[in-house]
Amino acid sequence: MVNVGIQAMKKLTKRDSRFIDEYLIDLDVERAAIEAGYSPTTAASKAY
């Protein structure tokens, strides 16, 4: 079970990792996506 989680973590891109870090700050999906490098338009659509 632990190995599955570790393998999944290895597949995260730098942008994915940054998104997670930013999201955990204030749980704002749109802001986190923008900070991670997504365009504001993409960030808004991913937020919903």
Q: Domain map of the chain by residue range?
A: 12-46
Who contacts 29 (Cβ-Cβ below 8 Å, separation ≥6)? 23, 43, 46, 47
Angstrom distance (rounded) from CA 44 to CA 6:
30
pTM exceeds 0.95, yes or no: no
Work out the number of other CB atoms within 10 angstroms of the CB of residue 34.
Answer: 19
Cα radius of gyration (the chain): 12
First to last CA, the chain: 30
Q: What is the pLDDT of residues 2-46, one digit of tens each?
A: 566 666 657 899 999 999 999 999 999 999 999 999 999 999 887
**Closest to 33 (Cα-Cα) out of 48, 47, 25:** 47
